[in-house]
């Protein structure tokens, strides 16, 4: 059995577009099978930054989650709203409540 797989990363929205980007990310998360947690949080120190924390049943589930048409459409809509990427870390969650 594969271990849980996690990602934590920062996205930087185009100035003034953070709320729109958050909405697209949340909409796309509904189509991601194998996802146990998809937490989108606004950075309090940077009005354009978003932190995303993900927990997946497996790394394979994460890779497969990017393939559905609904997710690809959301990525295409979100891309122009992304100014850049900040820190990113792959993790191995050791517990999952919920």
Share of the chain above pLDDT 70, in %: 96
Pairing assessment for the beta strands 35-42 and 82-91 based on DSSP bridges: unpaired
CA-to-CA separations, 67 to 7, 28, 60, in angstroms, rounded: 18, 12, 12
pTM, two decimals, is 0.88
How confident is the model at residue 97, as a pLDDT? Answer: 64
Domain ranges of the chain: 5-91
pLDDT beyond 80 at 46:
yes
CATH 3.20.20.80 fits 5-91, yes or no: no
Instruction: Measure the CA–CA gap between 83 and 48, rounded to whole angstroms.
Output: 9
Report the share of the chain in percent with pLDDT over 90.
72
């Amino acid at each position: 059995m594969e271990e849980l797989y996690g990602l934590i990363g920062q996205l930087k929205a185009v100035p003034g577009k953070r709320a729109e980007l958050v909405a697209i990310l949340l909409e796309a998360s509904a189509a991601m099978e194998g996802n146990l947690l998809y937490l989108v949080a606004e950075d309090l120190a940077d009005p354009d930054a978003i932190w995303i924390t993900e927990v997946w049943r497996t790394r394979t589930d994460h890779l497969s989650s990017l393939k559905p048409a609904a997710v690809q459409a959301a990525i295409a809509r979100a891309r122009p709203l992304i100014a850049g990427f900040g820190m990113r870390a792959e993790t191995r969650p050791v517990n999952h409540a919920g």
